[in-house]
Structure 1
Amino acid sequence: MRSVPYITTQQMIEVDKLMMEYYRIGLLQMMEMAGFNLATLAKRRFNLKDDDNILVLAGTGGNGGGVLVAARHLSNWGMDVSVQLSNSIDHFKQVSLHQLDILEKMNVPIIENTNGRNFHLIIDGLIGYSLRGNPRERVSRMIVEANENLAPVLSLDVPSGMDSTSGKINNPCIVAEATMTLALPKSGFLNKKSKPNVGELYLSDISVPPELYQRMGLIEAAFPIFSEENIIQLF
């Protein structure tokens, strides 16, 4: 695979904007693809089996919606999935509420706390690239509890608590065994200090046309990053 560019938070915001406004590829479409790929990676990388206990930590934004999609697929595949939300549902964006409504109709448990229960895997979708400063209040407590749990953690896009542009590790920050980032890797992953929190880094396709990156000046010529696999391990 040719080398891919690493992008800042502001550049990723521009990618999302072009996807929705120019290419008419909506957030719900990208979320569906991200969540399916995350569930696929979770099952493959962590060798998940029927009835394995999975805890999904969902924030209010796009990352939360993505892990809720993953929760649906893992539940459909036979895993015992529970979801813990970062806020009350009135704080959730519409696309994430859509995913949550599906899970409620599927009777996937929405839990208030874990009561010290251990899991086979924790999936982290609390905070994405929009983080500013240290995580606060309930999200902070959920990060600490996830790190104290015996289960490995798989993060979506960036470990919650990490600045995606600089790689700064805020307090607290998820310590992931693996991270699946979306579209292009974030520049913060180049910071060596972030590696213990990122773990193994995977890159997932969310249907971004290669021409978009050329339009932004990120690559000289459009080439299909995901021509062989829709999930690529970067390190």
Structure 2
Amino acid sequence: MWSVIRKSRRMSMTCSLLAQSLTLAYHYNSSPAIKSTCNPFSLLVSNQSSSSSVFLRPVSAPAIRAFCSKSDAMSSAQNSDSVSHLTQREAAEIDETLMGPLGFSVDQLMELAGLSVATSIAEVYKPSEYDRVLAICGPGNNGGDGLVAARHLYHFGYKPFVCYPKRTQKPLYTGLVTQLESLSIPFLSVEDLPLDFSKDFDIIVDAMFGFSFHGTPRPPFDDLIKRLLCLHGYDQTHQKRPVIVSVDIPSGWHVEEGDIGDEGIKPDMLVSLTAPKLCAKKFSGPHHFLGGRFVPPVIADKYKLRLPPYPGTSMCVRIGKAPSVDISALRENYISPEFLEEQVESDPINQFRKWFDDAIAAGLREPNAMALSTVGKDGKPSSRMVLLKGVDRDGFVWYTNYESRKACELCENPHASLLFYWDGRNRQVRVEGSVEKVSDEESEQYFHSRPRGSQIGAIVSKQSSVIPGRHVLYQQYKELEEKFSDGSLIPKPEYWGGYRLKPELFEFWQGQTSRLHDRLQYSPQEINGKRVWKINRLCP
């Protein structure tokens, strides 16, 4: 059997090394006001440069969603009032502490700050609709964050452009420029920029000034800020305009008092780094994200920081309530390679394996998750998610409780359908067929391959039965855990085992632009006494 119990390789070696080093991360600042003999970072930036906070945090799979899984990040949204906000002095003190005794390098921190910004953007603004990005970068570390973000956005499928008018001639920054040039990312001078950004760009990344900035913006940044302010006029005329994403602090805002006079940039997204600054309380845009998963207990305790938990291995977490949306307007314009009859496998099992391997290689979460639909004698369908545990020429295998609702319905009507949906690949597979139980030996073998906790859980859970509360499960689990604490064999209950669906119909679906999706159906037919699979294209 081609087993899907095997562990998928979700990390490259690079990501694994990053994950080890990114569990601690820190943000920094280059303000002359906070220079210290114990702060090596202060030696790297000129007195006139401004900066932002940056951080380090764990990194996982190669897919963007491993950095910012949308469902997780949205569900983990935190009320902004419950999250700590830093004064400028507190931010500076934290910088000195982290960048001094803890010894983190500037390039390490800047890299992950930029990645956090890029993943926050990818969380909301998909490249299929917002692909043209202009990163306006200042001379300090906030600008460096923007340069790094532009590089990551390129690899995420966007088309970035960079305006970097006041370049810092330090090896760190010249290296970032070289990296972008190696990707043929265009650099635009202020003179090359259109007066009206609305026709040429979909996203503007405001990476001009960070939280150490004070005073009045000087040329050419004063003019660039005015051009961003002009974009707000499009809201009144209902014309589409580029969205503005500010890095840590909207450029020109006071770090504590915010948009004084209500005449500054009003970004659509704010990506706070390390912890929101006080000015973030004045942010009224729809999308506020936090990047930074690093604060050690000694810092958190000293400043009484309340920071939200990050979902999974994501690089960002939403702060505040997600904006309400018009459900009818939610849609995805799929972009996929061709899926043609002459390219597919003649055997649908082989085609399934090919797509399944692609889903694993893409780092998709639980690619073996499938919706199982059954119908009982009452004719009412029911569906639930289960995990595929094996597939071969005989069919698709999963395991469950034989006294559950799905088991009862399969007893009454031994036919079912399976649906695999691989969002990151714009693909789904439907399989229909008859269902039978696997052998006791097969169920026994798989049961004892599971973690002991899962074995005990299978005994405790009388699936689909009504219980008075969760405490009942905990109590029974605790009793069995104690009973088998000596490592003795845990017996498989008679009411637990596997099913096998023997496929009679396959449909492979792949999303395409303008809803002209690919649908290839495999159905069996007899030719000269031999069963073969006929492939038909269905209208989307």
Q: TM-score interval w.r.t. the shorter chain?
A: 0.7 to 0.9
> What is the one-letter code of the residue matched to 1:97?
T
Give how far 1:148 is off. Answer: 2.7
Pairs within 5 Å for 1:68-83: 68-83=147-162
Question: Structure 2: how far apart are the matches of 1:224 and 1:129?
Answer: 19
Question: Structure 1: how far apart are the matches of 2:297 and 2:161?
Answer: 36
Question: Structure 2: how far apart are the matches of 1:195 and 1:119?
Answer: 23
> What is the one-letter code of the residue matched to 2:148?
V
**Cα 1:77–1:96, aligned 2, differ >3 Å: closer, same or farther?**
same
Give how far 1:200 is off. Answer: 2.9
2:220 is aligned with 1:138: yes
Give how far 1:168 is off. Answer: 4.0
Give how far 1:184 is off. Answer: 0.8
TM-score, normalization: structure 1? 0.84
Question: Structure 2: how far apart are the matches of 1:38 and 1:224?
Answer: 18
Pairs within 5 Å for 1:183-202: 183-190=274-281, 194-196=282-284, 200-202=287-289
**Cα 1:94–1:172, aligned 2, differ >3 Å: closer, same or farther?**
farther
Give how far 1:86 is off. Answer: 3.7
> What is residue 187 of structure 2 aligned with on the other side?
110
Residues 144-165 of structure 1 show CA distances to partners (whole Å, capped at 9, x for unaligned) of 2223342010110011011112
> What is the one-letter code of the residue matched to 1:8?
T
Pairs within 5 Å for 1:79-158: 79-87=158-166, 89=167, 91=168, 94-112=171-189, 113-115=192-194, 116=196, 117-149=199-231, 150-158=241-249
Structure with the largest fraction of strand: 2
Higher relative contact order (CA 8 A, sep 6+): 1
Give how far 1:77 is off. Answer: 2.2
Give how far 1:50 is off. Answer: 8.2
> What is the one-letter code of the residue matched to 2:175?
H
SS of equivalent to 1:111: coil
> What is the one-letter code of the residue matched to 1:59?
G
Give how far 1:124 is off. Answer: 0.7
* Maintained 8 Å contact 2:84/2:307: no
Question: Structure 2: how far apart are the matches of 1:189 and 1:195?
Answer: 5
2:294 is aligned with 1:207: yes
Give how far 1:121 is off. Answer: 0.6
SS of equivalent to 1:32: helix
Question: Structure 1: how far apart are the matches of 2:310 and 2:289?
Answer: 15
**Cα 1:98–1:9, aligned 2, differ >3 Å: closer, same or farther?**
farther
RMSD over aligned CA atoms reads 2.5
* Maintained 8 Å contact 1:52/1:79: yes
**Cα 1:170–1:135, aligned 2, differ >3 Å: closer, same or farther?**
farther
Q: Which runs of 4+ in 1 moved over 4 A?
A: none
Question: Structure 1: how far apart are the matches of 2:272 and 2:317?
Answer: 10
> What is the one-letter code of the residue matched to 1:104?
E
> What is the one-letter code of the residue matched to 2:246?
S
Which of 1, 10, 13 pairs up with 2:92? 13
**Cα 1:65–1:13, aligned 2, differ >3 Å: closer, same or farther?**
same
Structure with the largest fraction of helix: 1
> What is the one-letter code of the residue matched to 2:141?
G
Structure 1 unaligned regions, length at least 5: none
**Cα 1:130–1:199, aligned 2, differ >3 Å: closer, same or farther?**
farther
**Cα 1:51–1:169, aligned 2, differ >3 Å: closer, same or farther?**
closer
Mean CA deviation greater in 200-209 or 152-161? 200-209
* Maintained 8 Å contact 1:163/1:170: no
Give the greater-gyration-radius structure (CA). 2
Mean CA deviation greater in 56-65 or 198-207? 198-207
Pairs within 5 Å for 1:57-76: 57-76=136-155
Question: Structure 2: how far apart are the matches of 1:107 and 1:204?
Answer: 28
* Maintained 8 Å contact 1:63/1:128: yes
**Cα 1:153–1:185, aligned 2, differ >3 Å: closer, same or farther?**
same
Which of 220, 223, 226 pairs up with 2:309? 226
SS of equivalent to 1:131: coil
Give how far 1:206 is off. Answer: 5.3
- What's the % identity of the aligned pairs? 25
SS of equivalent to 2:97: helix
TM-score, normalization: structure 2? 0.39
Structure 2 unaligned regions, length at least 5: 1-77, 232-240, 321-540
> What is the one-letter code of the residue matched to 1:211?
V
* Maintained 8 Å contact 1:51/1:80: no
Give how far 1:51 is off. Answer: 8.3
Question: Structure 2: how far apart are the matches of 1:159 and 1:199?
Answer: 14
Residues 17-50 of structure 1 show CA distances to partners (whole Å, capped at 9, x for unaligned) of 2222122222212211111111111122112238
> What is residue 24 of structure 1 aligned with on the other side?
103
Give how far 1:96 is off. Answer: 3.0
Question: Structure 2: how far apart are the matches of 1:85 and 1:50?
Answer: 25
SS of equivalent to 2:303: coil
